Structure 1
Amino acid sequence: MVDRSLDASGLQCPMPLLKTKLELNSMAPGEELEVLATDAGSARDIPAFLQLSRHTLISSSESAGQFRFVIKCGG
């Protein structure tokens, strides 16, 4: 169960990543965010950003052109 969900479906690069960053900035450490996106660039951009941040990628998956990420907000 996640604390927040962000539906970035239909948005093109770089908007899914930017909206993800903004949402994480408004969250408390330890909270989990689910991000849904349809832009294929998200599969590369979001994990790459998370590797350079204090946040943790819990899981990622793709089904029928929709990408799902679960991210734990870092402290």
Structure 2
Amino acid sequence: MPAEERIVYDLRGLKCPLPVLKTRKRMETIAPGALIEIETTDPLAVIDIPHFCNEDGHRLEQAASTAAGHRFLIRKKV
């Protein structure tokens, strides 16, 4: 079975609150149930992104540390 397509959104280099604000804006343009992968270097994203998902009803499917920051996999609410 092929891997599900995901949108990759590079927000590296942006500081709080820009990663969440830009993610929220981008989520408005994608289909319900779609996957979006967020790349960020903002250390506060580990708090802000899960909070954003919880507040807006999206599902945080994965959160991982990377060499340069963090990667989040979010499924847009249906």
Could you report, residue by residue, the CA deviation over 1:5-53 in whole angstroms, capped at 9, with x for unpaired residues?
1100000111111111011111111100000000001110010111111
Aligned to 1:7: 10
Structure ID, larger Rg: 2
Percentage identity across aligned positions? 33
Aligned to 1:41: 44
Unaligned runs of 5+ in 1: none
The structure 1 residue matched to 2:23, chosen from 20, 23, 26, is 20
The amino acid of 2:45's aligned partner reads S
Distance 1:51 1:27, change over 3 A: same
Query: Is 2:69 the partner of 1:73?
Result: no
Count of residue correspondences: 75
Structure 1 length-normalised TM:
0.92
Aligned to 2:61: 58
**1:9 and 1:52 mapped to 2: Cα distance?**
23
Unaligned runs of 5+ in 2: none
Structure 2 length-normalised TM:
0.89
RMSD across aligned positions (CA): 1.1
Secondary structure of 1:29's partner? coil
